[in-house]
Amino acid sequence: MKAIIASCALSLFAGAGFAQECVGDNLIDALPEHDRAWIDAQSQAVPNHQGILWQASKGDERISIVGTYHFDHPMHRATVEKLRPQLEAADRLLVEMGPEEEAEMLSAMSSDPTLIMEPSGPTLPERLSEEHWQQVGDAMADRGVPAIMASRMKPWYIATLLAISPCAMKQMAGNGGKPRGLDWQLMQVAQDAGVPVEALEPWDTFVRIFSGLTPKEEIDMIVYSLPVASYADDYTATMEAAYAEGDIWQIWEFGRLDAYNNSGLSREEVDALTAEAKEVLIDERNRNWIAPLTQAAEEAAAKDKSIVAAFGALHLPGEQGVLRLLEDDGWQIERLD
């Protein structure tokens, strides 16, 4: 779930850029050999677990697909240049959240604080154990959020903030809100070329998903996220390394393994939370994206054009990944990297 919460964080804070001076250790490399072998075996069993650049084709219809990392990354420039010819000639670029949706989100959160705050009812110190609240308070303080404010934040928003490293939070505050993630870089190229940018889903998707959690699930989400909150810079470095290797699913399995060892939850509870998170935050969204992707490709083909789709790399692999869902719909999938 940590990887998914991180994905949410990166989508909600698309304006954040991962500071080049933010450094950390690769947590997967530091694991015992048997744990690394377990992560590798779990990843190998997932279809399309490697690769971030793909092409889908069906008759005259074409979709160039890139799995993104929403923070800055040294390899983004090369990826952008590789995609530039297709993107500048494309009918449109489809992303998780476009500029219009980001503006809507910021406006809504500004006008309605209850989207992320609980103005009444029990506070988080009352809902969490004393030990867990102390950990939350310390982690939020590291991220520049006073405990009094954090105590009234909605659990999903707390978990989202915990997924962003303190270093990246400081960078967010100091970079003037200018994003550097691959999604943003591709949107800049599209806008400069006059290529329309469209969102695959409404801006409030995450808000609606998390609003359906039970009180226990809300607290479990925070508890699940706590183990790596204290070493989030290392976790970010680990995600960055996995992305560079083109095997992003490793980070998902590392998050599961870390929760087994450090969350205090049973393996059954961890597996249940992980499966639920995968369904509502990845698989269901993937299924919802197939119609707008294929419709856009069909409309582009009528103009002798193709489309480019850019979304979080965790949405590519798996039986319910975008690639397999397209294959099930009759598309031919080809890896390009």
User: Is the pLDDT at 8 greater than 50, yes or no?
Assistant: no
Instruction: Answer whether residue 318 shows pLDDT above 90.
Output: yes
Q: What is the pLDDT of residue 172?
A: 61
Q: What is the pLDDT of residue 224?
A: 81
pLDDT band at 335 (very low <50, low <70, confident <90, very high): very high
* pLDDT at residue 186 tops 90: yes
What is residue 11's predicted lDDT score, i.e. its pLDDT?
38
The mean pLDDT of 126-149, rounded to a whole number, is: 94
pTM: 0.87
Average pLDDT over residues 218-228: 85
3-class SS letters over the chain: CHHHHHHHHHHHCCCCCCCCCCCCCCCCCCCCHHHHHHHHHHHHCCCCCCCCEEEEEECCEEEEEEEECCCCCCCHHHHHHHHHHHHHCCCEEEECCCHHHHHHHHHHHHHCHHHCECCCCCCHHHHCCHHHHHHHHHHHHHCCCCHHHHCCECHHHHHHHHCCCHHHHHHHHHCCCCCCCHHHHHHHHHHHCCCCEEECCCCCHHHHHHHCCCHHHHHHHHHHHHHHHCCHHHHHHHHHHHHHCCCCHHHHHHHHHHHHHHCCCCHHHHHHHHHHHHHHHHHHHHHHHHHHHHHHHHHHHCCCCCEEEEEEHHHCCCCCCHHHHHHHCCCEEEECC
Residue-wise pLDDT for 100-126, tens only, equals 998 998 899 889 999 999 999 999 999
In percent, the amount of the chain with pLDDT more than 70 equals 91
> Which of 21-30, 43-52, 240-249: highest mean pLDDT?
43-52
Given a cut of 50, whether residue 13 has pLDDT beyond it is no
Comparing 56-60, 236-240, 249-253, which segment has the lowest mean pLDDT? 236-240
Please say if the pLDDT value at position 16 is more than 50: no
Assign 299 a pLDDT band (cuts: 50, 70, 90): very high
pLDDT of residue 15: 33
Is residue 212 over pLDDT 90? no
- Report the pLDDT averaged over residues 155-167: 86
Instruction: Give the residue, 189 or 22, on which the prediction is more confident.
Output: 189
Helix axis angle for 155-162 and 2-12, nearest 10°, is: 90
Of the pLDDT bands very low, low, confident and very high (cuts 50, 70, 90), residue 14 is: very low
- At residue 19, the pLDDT reads 38
Percent of the chain with pLDDT over 90: 65
3-class secondary-structure state, position 188: helix
Over residues 224-231, mean pLDDT:
81
pLDDT bin (cut points 50, 70, 90) of residue 327 is: very high
pLDDT surpasses 60 at 178: no
Minimum mean pLDDT range among 73-77, 174-178, 318-322, 333-337:
174-178
Query: Residue 282 gets which letter from DSSP?
Result: I
Least-confidence region, from 144-158, 164-178, 255-269:
164-178
Mean of the per-residue pLDDT values for the chain?
88
